[in-house]
Amino acid sequence: MTIAPSPSAPAPRTADGGTTALRTRPAALLLDFGGVVVTTRQRPDGLERMADHVAEVLARAGHERTPAELVPVLRGGKKALKDWKNASSRRLAPTELDHRTIWREFYGSPLTAAEREVLAGSAGALQETLTRTLTDHHLRPGIGELIDLAATLGVPLGIVSNAHSGRAHRAILAEHGVADAFAVQVYSDEVGIRKPHPGMIDLAARALGTEPARCWYVGDTYDRDVLAGRRADVGGLVLTRDHHTDRVPFPVADRPDVVLDDPRGLVDLLRDAAPSSSTDVPAAAVPDRAPARDRTGVSALLLDHGGVIATSRADQAVRRGFATELATRLTAAGYPTGTDDALEVLTVARAAHKRWKAAHEAGTASDDGTTVPEIDAPTFWVELVGPQLAHHGPGVRHWLRAEAHALMVGYARTKSVPTVRPGVRELLVTTRDAGVPVAVVSNTVCGRAVREELVEAGLDDLIGAHVYSDELGRRKPDPTTVRTALTALGAEAASAVFVGDKPQRDVAAARAAGVGTTVLVRGGSTDDDALDALPADGPHTPDHLLDTMTDVAALLGVRVDVVQGTPAGTRR
């Protein structure tokens, strides 16, 4: 086995050049296609040959294009796809393009609508032809020996490959006489996701009756293969050097367990690996974790915004000011509107929004609890406000769609005037000093507006995470809101505390997310009579009903004298 002399390759961690992660024989060996099983070479005339083929396809439908016209079209599409692939590698869980999109929007976008539809209708076949026409494919050194050894040891092989034509890859393997060696082949265009999405590796492992932690994964790129392997928590991660290994579109901190010149080194690794029982998971399959925070006390404090951090009141002068702004902007865009008219439009839209929320409050059942959607800015402005301005003609709806997000900031900041509740700053300071992280979990039409208010109140630097329903697309009582905050803080649900002011939304969401302690505070959106009427053991009855935010600090066991300079942070 040869370790490639690359600055990106990790130093060997054992005397024989192997690593602890690769000392145990894998339950399955998963290989990338290009760069591992095969290497490719660009054909000098490949693009011209493909242009000839595309011209023939178009001609059959009555569209005359010369190959010379189509070469720059195809070259542009190829470059755009390369950029898209690099950008997708930056995402946590990228999806794959379908063939119709590739040929309609990447290759076909400079052509006529009719020509695009012809290409889209033959997209799958065109993509296979393109893959076979632009490049030659050759098995890499050592693949034959690796296949034979894996068969001898009883280690199943699988393919895990980003591919815009899995069918072409399957055919290429068959032509080289090795297709039957692979018990499963997972291609991105066939499963709809692409590396570095860990789901491709997970799918291949489970298709072979095992799990990623008991597999080795072998790729040739850092931004796709190494990231995918680490995210999937594979038992062993190997990089075989090829054309694209050092062409990294952005810095990648993760590293493989070993870097090889070519797959011949895999033969040595697999031969030397010790057999393992079917139930053993290699110790190295457990990824390194950051040291956990002390969970002996409260793991996190989750706070609603409206009614908890701040109370709000309607201010007609402020609302009228925004109506004037809206009327001015509409008029400037060619849709003459007066302030009174705009104010009435907003009043009607506000009522329509309340009905929208009521209609969606029950949500729908899902695997992770009740799914409750949040309205987005375009829906609010086009669907709720738009009908009130329909007399201006269809153009106003397009204007509202274009301006929706900017309008929503102004609307959210002027529909009510917030005031920070007494004791909030002291609570946030003492929880910070006590090591209890804080998140805001709020139903709102505009998280940006809430952030601005927190900044202006001088509270933003005391809050660790923000979860706003308009940005998440879910609203309480959907537990996804609370779970997202817990994930952001790395907090255990059972030892977390959630403070809200609405039983049916806040308590319901927190309980469904497994939060251990639920609190409602008086003085928010729910009047005292309604809070006092909650049944003792009702599903929306909190564990604690408190009067003030200072009481919340007392519940957590933190003192609030830190603002006077006295050390704080004692926990019960």
Q: Which of 114, 135, 156 is the last residue of a domain?
A: 135
Q: Which of 87, 120, 135 is the last residue of a domain?
A: 135
Does some domain include residue 98?
A: yes
Q: DSSP 3-state assignment of 34?
A: strand
pLDDT at 366: 67
The verdict on 430 and 362 lying in the same domain is no
Does some domain include residue 231?
A: yes
The verdict on 450 and 409 lying in the same domain is no
pLDDT at 287: 35
pLDDT tens-digit map of 506-561: 999 999 999 999 999 999 999 999 999 999 989 999 999 999 999 999 999 875 55
Q: What is the CATH number of the domain that holds 469?
A: 3.40.50.1000
The verdict on 443 and 554 lying in the same domain is yes
Q: Which parts of the chain register pLDDT below 50? A: 1-18, 278-296, 562-572
| Residue 466, phi-psi category: left (phi > 0), alpha (psi -120 to 50), beta (remainder) | beta
223: burial class by Cβ within 10 Å (0-12, 13-18, 19+)? buried
Beta strands in 424-509 (DSSP E): 438-442, 465-468, 496-500
Q: Are 190 and 96 in contact (CB under 8 A)?
A: no
Does some domain include residue 32?
A: yes
Token couple for 72: 């720059």
The verdict on 402 and 438 lying in the same domain is no
* Parent domain of 176: 20-37+140-285
Q: Which of 135, 160, 190 is the last residue of a domain?
A: 135
Q: What's the domain count of the chain?
A: 4
Among 31, 24, 19, 14, residue whose Cα is nearest residue 270: 24
Q: CB count, 10 Å around CB of 306?
A: 19
